[in-house]
A and B are shown apart, each in its own frame.
Chain A
Amino acid sequence: EAGVTQSPTHLIKTRGQQATLRCSPISGHTSVYWYQQALGLGLQFLLWYDEGEERNRGNFPPRFSGRQFPNYSSELNVNALELEDSALYLCASSLSGALTGELFFGEGSRLTVL
Chain B
Amino acid sequence: AQKVTQAQTEISVVEKEDVTLDCVYETRDTTYYLFWYKQPPSGELVFLIRRNSFDEQNEISGRYSWNFQKSTSSFNFTITASQVVDSAVYFCALSVPPFSGGYNKLIFGAGTRLAVHP
Contacts and interface: CB of A to CB of B under 8 A. Distances in A.
A86 to B, nearest CB: 15
A43 B108 contact: yes
A72 interface: no
Contact of B106 (A99, A100, A108, A110): A99
Interface string B93-105: 1010110000111
Residue among A33, A55, A102, A108 having the largest count of chain B Cβ atoms under 10 Å? A102
B44 interface: yes
B97 A104 contact: no
Interface in A64-104: 88, 90, 92, 97-104
B42 interface: yes
Contacts of A3: 44
Nearest to B91: A43
A108 B83 CA distance: 26
B104 A99 contact: yes
Contact of A45 (B35, B106, B109): B106
Nearest to A31: B104
B91 A56 contact: no
Interface in A28-86: 33, 35, 42-45, 48, 55-56, 58
B110 A98 contact: no
B104 A98 contact: yes
Given A44-B108, A98-B104, 19 more contacts: A35-B108, A42-B108, A43-B111, A45-B105, A55-B104, A56-B103, A88-B43, A90-B44, A90-B45, A98-B98, A99-B33, A99-B97, A99-B104, A100-B33, A100-B97, A102-B35, A102-B50, A105-B46, A108-B44
